[in-house]
A and B are shown apart, each in its own frame.
Chain A
Amino acid sequence: MEFTRFGWVYPGREQPALFDVSVALNRGERWLITGPSGSGKSTLALALAGLLREDDDGHGRGTLERSPGIVVGAVFQQPDNQTVMSRLYDDVAFGLENAGVASAEMTDRILEALDDVGLDLSWAHPTRALSGGQRQRLALAGALALKPDLLVLDEPTSALDPEGQEQVKTALARIMTRRSITLVIVDHTPSLWWDMVDWHLKIQPGSTVSFALVTGVAPALPLVEPPHLPAPGPLVVDVSPLVVSRAGTVATASLPPQQLHEGEVLAIMGPNGSGKTTLLMTLAGLLPPLTGEVLLQESPIHTLSSRELAQRVGVVTQNPSHAFFHSRVIDEITAHHDAESAGDILRQWGLETLMNAHPLSLSGGESRRLALALATSGGQKLLLLDEPSQSLDAQGWTELVATLRRLRNQGVAVVIATHDARLVSAVGARVVRVQARVRPPLETSPAPQGVAARANPLALLLGVLIPAFALIASVDVVSAATALALYGLVLPWAGISMHRMWIRLTPVLLASVFSAVTIALYGQTSGEIVWSWGLVEISQGSLNLSLATALRILAIGAPAVVILSAVDVTRLADALIQNLKAPANFVMGALAALRLIDVMGIDREVRSWMTRARGEGDRSLLRRALPEAIWLLVGAIRRSETLARAMEAKAFGTNAKRTHYRTSVFTAGDFLWVALGTLIGVLSLAAAVVTGSFDATFS
């Protein structure tokens, strides 16, 4: 690949991200591209991966010549945003399907790729149960399955803990011994990859490029002088032996008694998943402890009101945007300060030019500064930070250390949850270690047994929708009751487990009851009138109809709910594409977007903590509805940008004829399902006609 005076400008920006770069990448070379944030290194990586499209992504200058027909694989920074499918092997197969690889070849390629990255798990292992390191290796496997000539990795370990980083490094080393691949790694920390690469390309903002052979020792990380530790001040936080747990989980984490004084820094260290965040949030008064107590200047911290908490405690989350609740930066600050101090705060944190910008539109560094400003400008005596140095480049890291030192000298008590040992020593923190704990086994719903497990999901759906259409025709007790009775026989026989179905059926049950009440009050009047007032007219007729309504809703709704729980979404997608010929790109796009539901749940949890931490907890939900909805959507769209790139890197959307890893057939048995459902509908209506209770809906 040869770049000649290559440049790139993103749409809507004045400054080019890359300017006048001339380098050549030869087969078999191994490059490391480093540079600070904003230097354009990610843009260069995208250009190498062939993922920058003219017009869509911006405009290019100069020329980029690529050898024809090379296959490129790409892995990006965020582990959560690159997973497309819910089961392990399916996710690896995604790229193969898009690239039109023959179905017979797929399994071998998948096994080989997973072996190369060392992921030795079952084919159906849920991808949402994977750790960060495992997910990145899965992303690698997905790229490898395509047998790439070139592998481009953009900060593949920035978002991982040390254990995850090791996993990815080991996997990559193994890959390089087994396959002949040209390798390009983009990162801001050279030391991690120094022994794996031959060439080092350094980019500075303004696109000054220096290119050299890799020799000797990696460029050292910035030196940090040992901190001058101020004498600790008065007691801020007193923690008795603490046991904490997150809502909905059984696992617990514990902390021995602690005392934290002004000017002290406490670091909670441990691998991801060990409970650091839970402990941090409990110390912040955002989660109630299971046992023990956290006293903030003598009052129990989790009994403080949201407003009080915001004035006395500052919290900065891993994703700073969880702390933003208004539509302008200035509004975030004036929520707790008057206009005059707001100006000072903006200047102190370098945010004056962003005064009217939307907080969610800020860059990573700007967001972090705003979150820190909000957490410290009110004279808060306690500051808690969750993994503050994750993904920071050298300059960002140095600034963070300087800020933390300054705050500590000002008498703030600081607690950090982190796995960054350098940060801990640079700020002179006292360390408390949390043990890694075994992840509780993932609860999966019982797989459907029997006939339903093998049926085509389309057949199952039709088997319920057709009789529903039939039942719509009449509002009477007999047809509905007959249908319910028949379903009661058929569904258990079909192997659909009624276990835990009651939770799922509660909404239908409630809906049928409430609708029955409505019909009793406002139904068609006939017969003796029992009571009337205003628009309400309860009559003999409306009471009969109300019973019929309740049963009808149950007969239509309950089977529909039960059937949906027996449908596997991936198999439904396969049936839509292969049997109904639905457009594959849309169906697969929908499947990929569904991965988001799991992540959205976690985001919501953190958001609820920060709502309390920022003093927003006392505002009514109704007033916050619109901004919260926007916040949710923005977060989702941001995540989707990486997802879209990852999918495009796996040939999503190319016009190659798409093949299938899983086959979906519509068998004779499936036709019987549909026939059975139709029969239920027919019999129910017949029963109503025969007994004379048929009461046409449309009359």
Chain B
Amino acid sequence: MNASPNRFTWRPRDIVLASIVGVACGGLFALWNIANVPVLQPLGALLPGFQALGHGVWLIGGVLTALVVRRPGAALYGELLAATVSALIGNQWGAITLVYGAVQGLAAELVFALFAYRLWGWIVAVIAGGVAGVAMAGLDLILFYPAAGATFFAIYGVSSVVSGVVLAGLGSVALHRGLVRAGALRA
């Protein structure tokens, strides 16, 4: 990766790259929905909160975009854009997906900010994924499941964080490494 003199400025091609990664992640979300939701959703309805273990996928937009572009705001922008795309393609939340994208993206962004935008390895990614998972759980529990019992809340919350750590954190690291090996991030 080419080091820009100031790691806080966005060059036009950084913007394009972040936009493309965000949109592509949105596409991945949509594919995940099509492939899995018809099976996972009805099954998940019967679970006391473990269904959240599969939700980390929806946090990849933010973490991956940050790992690829490595600039302030990348996580927020990437997650917001990915969420928007998945809403445009068609999901159950429509305009509210924008709120999801903003909140989840902001959560991940805060983690990268906490490390002064210097660290981009798997540790930061995993923490960012976990924190974004907390944000996601918060939104889900308020919007979908406020009427659930305390046990459900606990299981759902923990599952969301674990999913964020594994799927969004480690998953994004795996994707990023794949991209580097494939030579996609040359310049």
Q: Which residues of A contact B (CB under 8 A)?
A: 10-12, 55-57, 327, 358-361, 461, 464-465, 468, 472, 475, 503-504, 507-508, 510-511, 514-515, 517-519, 521-525, 535-537, 542, 545-546, 548-549, 553, 556-557, 559-565, 567, 569, 585-586, 589-590, 592-594, 596-597, 600, 604, 621, 626-627, 629-630, 632-634, 636-640, 643-644, 647-648, 652-653, 697
- Nearest CB to that of A523 among chain B residues? B147
* Residue B8 lies at the interface, judged by CB distance under 8 Å to chain A: no
Q: How far is the CA of A315 from the CA of B46 in the complex (A)?
A: 45
Q: Which residues of B contact A (CB under 8 A)?
A: 2, 4-5, 10-13, 15-25, 27-28, 31, 35, 41-42, 44-49, 77, 81, 84-85, 87-99, 142-149, 151-152, 171, 174-175, 178-179, 181-187
Most buried by B among A504, A507, A638, A652: A507
The answer on a CB contact under 8 Å between A562 and B94 is yes
In the complex, are the beta carbons of A644 and B149 less than 8 A apart? no
Residues of A contacting B: mostly: helix
Question: A640, B182: Cβ atoms under 8 Å?
Answer: no
Q: Roughly how many angstroms separate A56 CA and B3 CA in the complex, as a whole number?
A: 9
Task: Give the docked Cα–Cα distance between A652 and B90 (Å).
Answer: 30
Q: Which chain B residues lie closer than 8 Å to A515 at the CB level? A: 45, 144-145
- What residue of chain A has the Cβ atom nearest to residue B182's Cβ? A360
B93–A557 CB distance below 8 A? yes
Is the pair B91, A600 in contact by a Cβ cutoff of 8 Å?
no
Q: Verify B17–A640 contact, CB threshold 8 A.
A: yes
Distance of A520 Cα from B35 Cα, bound (Å):
27
Choose one: A517, A525, A557, A627; the contact of B45 (CB below 8 Å).
A517
B53, chain A: closest CB distance, angstroms = 14
Residues of chain B contacted by A559 (CB below 8 angstroms): 94
Chain A residue contacts of B5, Cβ below 8 A? 55
> A469–B12 Cα gap in the complex (Å)?
36
User: Which residues in A have their C-beta under 8 angstroms from that of B187?
Assistant: 10-11, 56-57
B93 near A640 (CB under 8 angstroms)? no
Other than A519-B147, A535-B48, give 7 A-B pairs with Cβ distance below 8 A. Answer: A515-B45, A518-B47, A522-B49, A560-B97, A590-B84, A600-B27, A640-B20
State the Cβ distance, A452 to closest chain B Cβ, in Å.
13
Tally A-B pairs: CB < 8 A: 227
CB pair B42–A644 under 8 Å, yes or no, is no
Q: List 24 interface pairs A-B (beta carbons < 8 Å), by A numbering.
A: A10-B187, A55-B2, A361-B182, A461-B95, A507-B90, A507-B92, A510-B92, A517-B45, A517-B46, A518-B47, A522-B48, A522-B148, A535-B152, A561-B94, A563-B94, A589-B12, A590-B22, A596-B27, A604-B31, A630-B179, A634-B179, A637-B21, A638-B184, A697-B142
In the complex, what residues of A have CB within 8 A of residue B16's CB? 589, 592-593, 640, 643-644, 647
CB distance A653 to B12 under 8 Å? yes
Contact B15 A586 (CB under 8 A): yes
For B25, the chain A residues whose CB sits under 8 A away are 633
Contact (A522, B23) CB under 8 Å given A475-B147, A632-B28: no
- B157 smallest CB distance to A (angstroms): 14
Cα A597 to Cα B88 in complex, Å, equals: 10
CB B81 to nearest CB in A, in angstroms, measures: 5
A635 (CB) vs chain B CBs: closest residue: B24
Q: How far apart are the CA atoms of A585 and B14 in the complex, in Å?
A: 11
Q: For residue B98, which residues in chain A have a CB less than 8 angstroms away from its CB? A: 461
- In the assembled complex, the Cα of A590 lies from the Cα of B82 at a distance in Å of 10
On whether the beta carbons of A556 and B27 are closer than 8 Å, the reply is: no
For B4, the chain A residues whose CB sits under 8 A away are: 55-56
A638 to B25, CA, bound (A): 15
